[in-house]
Structure 1
Amino acid sequence: LLVELGLPRENIWVTDIEGVVYQGRKVLMDDDKSRFAQATPMRTLGEVIEGADIFVGLSAGGVLKPEMVKKMAARPLILALANPTPEIMPEQVKAVRSDAIIATGRSDYVNQVNNVLCFPFIFRGALDVGATTITTAMETAAVRALAGLAREEQSDIVASAYGVADVSFGPEYLIPKPFDPRLITRIAPAVAQAAMASGVATRPIDDLQAYRDQLQQFVYHSGTFMKPIFAIAKNAHVGGGKSRIVFAEGEEERVLRAVQVVIDEKLAQPILIGRPAVIAKRLERFGLRMRPDADFDLVNPEFDNRYRDYSETYHRLAARKGVTQQYAKIEMRRRLTLIGAMMMHKGEADGMLCGTFGTHGPHLTYIDQVLGRRTGANVYAAMNILMVPGRQLALVDTMVNLDPTAEQIAEITVLAAEQLKRLGIAPRVALVSHSNFGSSDAPSAVKMRDALSLVRQLAPELEVDGEMHADGAVDDAIRKSIMPFSALTGDANLLVCPTLDAANISYNLLKATAGNNIAIGPMLLGVAKPANILTPAATVRRIVNMTALTVLEANAVRQRELI
């Protein structure tokens, strides 16, 4: 492979247990070795190592001695790959050559060379196109894909698994980590494409991008659900639709990593709010490739020519909500969510994500002051969607209303059902309670019964029933055994809870115990323009997903009145 990739054969010196492979040698020779036989009087590794740039060891522990390393060229690359004991230990190399770059086959040192990095994904690509053999072109395609990934920023999943966050391509990070979830989506398509180009594919793939999207579903459990949303976001962005998404906490690591993915996937045009020097330093620290102006727009909260206009506009909007002129000036300098909301109000952004720190309430306050509710809406609410085994399950209201009235619950139900329809899901709604179809007359049960009547008036076409136990909501058989006349058919996919406590506790319990912490949301319902408030627990993948969803919302035709 090294020769195939361009290394001159005459620059390769092979040694084995008998010493240097030289022309005329008879002992332990074969055709593979003979190709590399050199015309030389040198007979030992200690002789041929002098001035060498690279050592590749696939032999036995202790073969390479420190005194040999001393004789190598400047900044030597030492691949000591014998396992479990390498040809030389990394600390032995560093003791004599501080400029050396080292890789081993061991996981307890940097730069672990492990066949798990390539073999599963080579086979994946080969099998998916029905390759009749593995060609050299397929092998080199895997090499190039691996090398390309090594030069990209480190995955957030890898950073979490290995407890490192500031590693980028260089002497300490030459090769991706085995846990990198991007390996399958980079290597398998490259191998498949090479197989097709080599003429050995019996089942050619027509759409490689669709194939990559399919592979991504093996990596992220939300992949199947998000696939059509990603497609809509990409089409909007590439086609000139509304895709300017402002990220209020632009200095946050998870946001920066997510924005890099958003740029790579062409999901949106990001706008980051943050101090330029801080963002530049963190981009370098995390090894991220994106750059301001070229890849994303940057809003400096410490200095922006729009500051005066923003603060005066904020004062006019919120003057009757206790915001004085001086307070408006102060807030506009320090409240990132407020800046993002004002950008949307001014038409300088199409959507916003905030909330990676702090609690939900303060973020909603600024959104309410600047953007307000949509026409016909009297309430805000938050909806989360969980990926649980065999289904997607949405819950409301997980963040906003502590003890909503029947009227508020009815409106929240209609808003949530409309959002599910926007996402391509036919809503089947259950109003859940401790009461099961009239088994209790407690105030919370009566409230849910009243809400059901109001929902049926607001949206008579909506498939909804209640009040009912949660198990009957998600299991049609249980529900039919209790209420055979239920208007709800099949398992519910939207659970409307009586209180914030009930919704939030249910959501977090299901997310942790049954959902593998895979969730979409929170989605802010009832707001005039697409603005979503995340949570401090939001992962990079969740931020990416919510970016695509926010682009979808920005390009959706919203009904002026509720359903």
Structure 2
Amino acid sequence: GRSDYPNQVNNVLCFPYIFRGALDCGATRITDEMKLACVTAIAELAEAEASDVVALAYEGQDLTFGPEYIIPKPFDPRLLAAIAPRVAQAAADSGVATRPITDMDAYRDKLGEMIYHTGFFMKPVFNKARANVRKVAYAEAGEPRVLRAVQAVVDEGIAQPVLIGDETAIARAVKQAGLRLQAGVDYTVIAAEADTTLQGTRLLKSGQVDALICGMTGSYDSHLEHVRNEIGVAPGAEVLAAMNALVLDKLTLFITDTYVNETPSAQELAAITRLAAEALQHFGLEPKAALLSHSSQGSSERPSARRMREARALLAEQSPELAVVGEIHGDAALSQEIRDIYGIDAGYTGSANLLVMPSLDAANILFNVLKVASGKGVTVGPILLGAAKSVHILSPSATVRRIVNMTALAAAQVV
């Protein structure tokens, strides 16, 4: 279907979602009640702010409610979760549903996972964040992505946003984006000083906020320096490190250290593995770690192979409860069949879910290649490991959904 004029009704706006709801409840036909339910759901989105996906796709256009923007754009991802449940409920109410949906909240969650591919494995994190809502500060509050993320954070009830910036400029940006945020109700503002990340770390250190999100502008290292100097390393953590998660078609992988330690020592690798394994538990996952190398089970005596081998020995001694294999080739870490051929006992079955790399270069390159080649850009992180307080340094390419996910994680990690 074509859309040649503003507010032109396009069949793609409703048909896919009517059919989704009808198929999921086993409707025998499409009734007038189901059509009306679809129209009602679309009408309720009319005055809602445009989603981040739509804002990016139609960059430069005014997407606030008015003569040029009355109905949602056809490819607004929110249409699925808004229309399909209404249609399914209407089918049940009008007696044509052969499989009525009894738990509509669970159905909405399932649809949400279709929209946001990180939804399923982020669910335990979101639940923990909602259970004890924390104050999360944002160092780059003037960024449109941050404000859209803050709207989602408020809507999903996962944190109390604290925006570091100019109150007037933030209010103007909120209005320009067509967001529903209200100062003093949905968020509080702390006037920005020269360096907002430095300011944020000091707010975190003093206990005025519970967690901090930064990194949408500038270099990772510049933000890390403030975290290192103001927040420091948690007792027993030994080291700071970064980890990224990739949601792939068949599995989710966590890769470390992607940003902090250039060539970690064996002791640092062991510490990073422990920190990463602990972080996986926030996602409800049992860590299955692999120390990756060009070497496998002593096949090389090069320095990087020896470091990975020594790290494995330290983990066996200091953290025997962890399921860790290494040093090992990447394919063997992910394949039970390959390990069986070589007689390698990993201490776990199936694929590893935590890949510990021998260097920052290796970790960062692997993550970015997989992100584009296999992950469809669906990532979580960077997750900062080992800090004394809950703080995460994102990247300038962070999407709205990634900011929301990291906000939930930051809130969930507060102790």
**TM-score if structure 1 supplies the norm length?**
0.71
1:375-390 mapped onto 2 (5 Å cutoff): 375-390=235-250
Cα distance between partner residues in 2 of 1:165 and 1:263: 25
The corresponding residue for 2:128 is 232
Q: How much does 1:130 deviate? A: 3.2
DSSP-derived class of the 2:352 partner: coil
The corresponding residue for 1:499 is 359
Cα distance between partner residues in 1 of 2:207 and 2:103: 37
Q: 1:195 to 1:491 in 2, by over 3 A?
A: same
Cα distance between partner residues in 2 of 1:223 and 1:336: 30
Alignment deviations for residues 451-481 of structure 1 (CA, whole Å, 9 cap, x no partner): 1111112210111111111111111212222
1:84-163 mapped onto 2 (5 Å cutoff): 106-163=2-59
Cα distance between partner residues in 2 of 1:169 and 1:233: 32
The corresponding residue for 1:536 is 396
1:408-419 mapped onto 2 (5 Å cutoff): 408-419=268-279
Alignment deviations for residues 188-241 of structure 1 (CA, whole Å, 9 cap, x no partner): 12222333444444433333222111101111211221223222323x2xxxx2
The corresponding residue for 1:338 is 198
The corresponding residue for 2:373 is 513
Cα distance between partner residues in 1 of 2:56 and 2:292: 37
Match of 1:407 among 254, 267, 287: 267
Alignment deviations for residues 279-310 of structure 1 (CA, whole Å, 9 cap, x no partner): 11211211111111121111121xxxxxxxxx
Cα distance between partner residues in 1 of 2:344 and 2:222: 45
Cα distance between partner residues in 2 of 1:257 and 1:208: 26
Cα distance between partner residues in 2 of 1:526 and 1:128: 44
Match of 1:195 among 87, 91, 104: 91
Aligned-partner residue type, residue 149 of structure 1: L
The corresponding residue for 2:148 is 257
Cα distance between partner residues in 1 of 2:120 and 2:113: 6
DSSP-derived class of the 1:504 partner: helix
Cα distance between partner residues in 2 of 1:133 and 1:382: 52
In the alignment, structure 1 residue 297 sits paired with structure 2 residue 192: no
Deviates most, 414-423 or 126-135? 126-135
The corresponding residue for 1:244 is 135
Cα distance between partner residues in 1 of 2:123 and 2:211: 20
Q: 1:231 to 1:198 in 2, by over 3 A?
A: farther
Q: How much does 1:372 deviate? A: 1.7
Q: Is the 8 A contact 1:141 1:190 kept in 2?
A: yes
Identity over aligned residues, as a percent? 52
Q: How much does 1:258 deviate? A: 0.9
The corresponding residue for 2:104 is 208
The corresponding residue for 1:285 is 176
Alignment deviations for residues 520-539 of structure 1 (CA, whole Å, 9 cap, x no partner): 11111101111111111111
Cα distance between partner residues in 1 of 2:153 and 2:403: 9
Alignment deviations for residues 350-401 of structure 1 (CA, whole Å, 9 cap, x no partner): 2111111111112122222222211112210001111112101111000101
Deviates most, 155-164 or 401-410? 155-164
Q: Is the 8 A contact 1:112 1:177 kept in 2?
A: no
1:358-369 mapped onto 2 (5 Å cutoff): 358-369=218-229
Deviates most, 186-195 or 371-380? 186-195
Match of 2:292 among 426, 432, 445: 432
Q: 1:274 to 1:416 in 2, by over 3 A?
A: same
**TM-score if structure 2 supplies the norm length?**
0.95
1:345-364 mapped onto 2 (5 Å cutoff): 345-364=205-224
Q: 1:460 to 1:152 in 2, by over 3 A?
A: same
Alignment deviations for residues 5-60 of structure 1 (CA, whole Å, 9 cap, x no partner): xxxxxxxxxxxxxxxxxxxxxxxxxxxxxxxxxxxxxxxxxxxxxxxxxxxxxxxx
Cα distance between partner residues in 2 of 1:210 and 1:250: 33
Structure 2: 5+ residue runs without aligned partners? Answer: none
In the alignment, structure 1 residue 271 sits paired with structure 2 residue 162: yes
Cα distance between partner residues in 1 of 2:198 and 2:359: 28
Q: How much does 1:251 deviate? A: 0.8
The corresponding residue for 1:27 is none
Match of 1:551 among 405, 411, 415: 411
Q: Is the 8 A contact 2:129 2:411 kept in 1?
A: yes
The corresponding residue for 1:179 is 75
Cα distance between partner residues in 1 of 2:309 and 2:61: 51
Cα distance between partner residues in 1 of 2:168 and 2:125: 34
Aligned-partner residue type, residue 411 of structure 2: V
